Amino acid sequence: MSHPNLPMTEVLVVADCWQHEPDSEAVIQRAVAAAAENVDEDVADAEVAVMLTDDAGIRALNSNWRGIDKPTNVLSFPALQPEGEWKPGDAPRMLGDIAIAYETMRREADEEQKPFDHHLSHLAVHGFLHLIGYDHDNDGDAEEMEALEREILAHLGIPDPYADRPGTH
């Protein structure tokens, strides 16, 4: 039975390297569901698309959309929202797209000695929060977003991903 506030999450695997992690789709589904359950935003009857790509694919996205010609771990692309209120019977509201790069994510998990599924969960939560309006453009916004990430990940039994980072509390 689905939770009434959960968005429909579609996971698209577009890079063969993700075949090394066959549980990735389930991990992402669980992470997005936990995020949706722990925010005040109404995301019922909404859709999220998550693309599992490689460093080359995310580098192209990063270059084309942000003007940064290098790979990154996760990118989020919030969808423009239609004007007016969503009503039952309307087409699902698209929250946006998330792209996650395998090689960068794998390297970070290994360097930080974190289980792969924990880091993947964190990036999925992080990307989802961007889709619903959270950001980390300044210290206050970053602290708010990171606190929410910690709370959501704790619900999943995942330790604080920022615990070993210098300057965090």
Q: CA 134, CA 140: separation in Å to the nearest integer?
A: 11
Residue 1 burial (C-beta neighbours within 10 Å; 0-12, 13-18, 19+): exposed
Query: What pLDDT is attached to residue 88?
Result: 67
Q: CA 115, CA 4: separation in Å to the nearest integer?
A: 30
Query: What pLDDT is attached to residue 86?
Result: 64
Query: What pLDDT is attached to residue 1?
Result: 37
Query: What pLDDT is attached to residue 43?
Result: 85
Digit-by-digit pLDDT tens for the chain (169 residues) are: 344 568 899 999 999 999 999 999 999 999 999 999 999 888 877 899 999 999 999 999 999 999 999 999 999 999 987 677 766 667 678 899 999 999 999 999 999 999 999 999 999 999 999 999 999 988 998 999 999 999 999 999 999 999 876 544 3
pTM of the model: 0.90
Query: Where do the structural domains in the chain lie, given as residue ranges?
Result: 8-156
Query: What pLDDT is attached to residue 168?
Result: 43
Q: Are 6 and 30 in contact (CB under 8 A)?
A: no
Quickly list H helices, 4-138.
24-37, 55-66, 102-111, 116-131
Residue 152: HSE in the Cβ half-sphere, 13 Å Cα cutoff: 27
User: Is 130 annotated as belonging to a binding site?
Assistant: yes
Answer whether CATH 3.90.226.10 is correct for domain 8-156.
no
